[in-house]
């Protein structure tokens, strides 16, 4: 493809919900990235998070903040606490008891900010950690955190078609560590996604190939630096500074990479997307 044939990517303004890492720490290990013996610099995490938030604002997006709570060091990973489509909110139910209390803080934020339709799941559901909205389908990960029964529950609560996908590599324990939506489907164009096939079972890989034959295919290095834990507004793709190879491939498709440093947050197994819950009204 020559430059003149590059598709024009049109960004759309987004509304994000984030939670500052004021009490960020790695006190327990619930994924292979977390090592409680390794020191964490909470102030550095705050600076990296602030730069991420300001990046969204500079791109013209709205960012709201949920107040952080002492004793909930992973609360910065807001994406795990809610899935919002057409103003309907499906909250979270965490697998790890250490994170259980986060769900209620986010539920309360939604209720206090005028969301009328807020459902809390009965099955383990780590929200946008495992649920990705393409504009048509809700791609739903399972294998490590969110239960398959939560996928059916999400379909009922949100009224959207759900496609279950099985994750098989413990390093990619949430769907949002292995797949992201570059551009939602429109009237005239299908959704664009990027994913790392190695994170998925054989059957799920084949399902992804059928649904998204034009997907950007990421490799092991792209995934290992959390390159797929990215946030796209349809044009700008906010992703970790290490993900240069993936960024080049996205640029070839007309997307504009925007780099952020999330080295400190990665010590808990998170990246830009984990910190970012999208409020779709
Ligand atoms: N320490 C957190 C956990 O293991 C990290 C969550 C990252 N969030 C995400 N959306 N992948 O639950």
pLDDT in tens, 7-61: 899 999 999 999 999 999 999 999 999 999 999 999 999 999 999 999 999 999 9
Whether the CB of 77 sits within 6 Å of ligand 1:
yes
Runs of H (alpha helix) within the chain: 42-58, 102-112, 148-158, 202-211, 220-224, 244-252, 263-266
4 occurs within a structural domain: no
Cα of 268 from ligand 1 centre, angstroms: 7
For the chain, what is the mean pLDDT? 97
Mean pLDDT of 74-103: 98
Cα of 129 from ligand 1 centre, angstroms: 7
Quote the pLDDT of residue 4: 63
* Phi/psi at 84 (5° precision): -120, 120
Asked if residue 103 is part of any domain, the answer here is yes
Q: Is residue 226 part of a domain?
A: yes
Judged against a pLDDT cut of 60, whether residue 1 lies above it is answered with no
Any domain includes 6 = no
Q: What is the pLDDT of residue 5?
A: 79
Question: Would residue 19 show up in a list of annotated catalytic residues for this protein?
Answer: no
- Residue range(s) defining the domain that contains residue 59: 15-278
CATH of the domain at 50: 3.75.10.10
2 inside domain: no
Distance, CA 234 to ligand 1 centroid (Å)? Answer: 24
Instruction: Give mean pLDDT, residues 227-239.
Output: 98
- The reply to whether 174 belongs to the active site is yes
How many helical (H) and strand (E) elements, i.e. helices and strands, does the chain have? Answer: 7, 15
Q: Is 74 in the pocket of ligand 1 (CB under 6 A)?
A: yes
List 19, 225, 274, 275, catalytic entry: 274
Domain annotation covers residue 45:
yes
Asked whether 167 lines ligand 1 (CB < 6 A), one says no
Q: What is the pTM of this model?
A: 0.97
Name the residue with the closest Cα to ligand 1, atom 1. 268
- Distance between CA atoms of residues 167 and 182, nearest Å: 20
Total structural domains within the chain: 1
Select from 129, 142, 277 the residue to mutate for testing ligand 1; criterion: most ligand atoms less than 8 Å from CB.
129
Q: Which of 61, 174, 225, 275 is catalytic?
A: 174
Q: Is 188 exposed, middle or buried (0-12, 13-18, 19+ CB in 10 A)?
A: exposed
Could you tell me which of 45, 81, 140 has the C-alpha nearest to residue 279? 81
pLDDT tens-digit readout, 185-223 = 999 999 999 999 999 999 999 999 999 999 999 999 999
Quote the ipTM score. Answer: 0.97
Q: Identify the three-state secondary structure at position 133.
A: strand
Q: Does 9 fall in a domain?
A: no
State the pLDDT confidence band at 2, using cuts at 50, 70 and 90.
Answer: low
Q: Is 80 in the pocket of ligand 1 (CB under 6 A)?
A: yes
The reported pLDDT for the residue numbered 6 is 87
Query: Which residue did the predictor score with more confidence, 273 or 6?
Result: 273
How deeply is 122 buried, as exposed, middle or buried, from its count of CB atoms within 10 A (0-12, 13-18, 19+)? exposed
In a domain, 228, yes or no: yes
Q: Please give the average per-residue pLDDT across 129-153, as a whole number.
A: 98
């Amino acid at each position: 493809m020559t430059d003149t044939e590059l598709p024009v990517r049109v960004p759309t303004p987004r509304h994000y919900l984030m939670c500052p890492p004021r009490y960020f720490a790695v006190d327990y290990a619930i994924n292979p990235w977390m090592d409680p013996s390794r020191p964490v610099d909470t102030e550095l995490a705050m600076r990296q998070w602030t730069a991420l938030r300001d990046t969204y604002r500079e791109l013209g997006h709205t960012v709201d903040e949920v107040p952080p709570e002492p004793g909930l060091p992973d609360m910065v990973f807001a994406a795990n606490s809610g899935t919002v489509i057409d103003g309907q909110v499906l909250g979270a139910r965490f697998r790890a008891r250490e994170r259980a209390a986060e769900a209620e803080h986010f539920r309360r934020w939604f209720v206090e900010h005028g969301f009328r339709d807020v459902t809390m799941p009965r099955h383990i559901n780590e929200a946008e950690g495992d649920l990705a909205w393409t504009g048509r389908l809700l791609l739903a990960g399972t294998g490590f955190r969110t239960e398959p029964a939560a996928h059916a529950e999400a379909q009922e609560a949100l009224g959207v078609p759900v496609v279950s996908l099985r994750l098989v590599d413990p390093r990619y324990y949430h769907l949002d560590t292995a797949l992201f939506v570059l551009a939602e489907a429109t009237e005239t164009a299908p959704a664009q996604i990027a994913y790392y096939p190695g994170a998925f079972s054989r059957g799920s890989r084949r399902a992804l190939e059928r649904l998204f034959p034009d997907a950007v295919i990421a490799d092991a290095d792209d995934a290992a630096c959390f390159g797929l834990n990215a946030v796209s507004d349809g044009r700008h793709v906010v992703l970790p500074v290490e993900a240069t190879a993936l960024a080049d491939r996205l640029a070839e498709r007309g997307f504009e990479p925007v780099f952020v440093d999330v080295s400190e947050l990665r010590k808990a197994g998170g990246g830009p997307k984990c910190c970012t819950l999208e409020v779709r009204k």
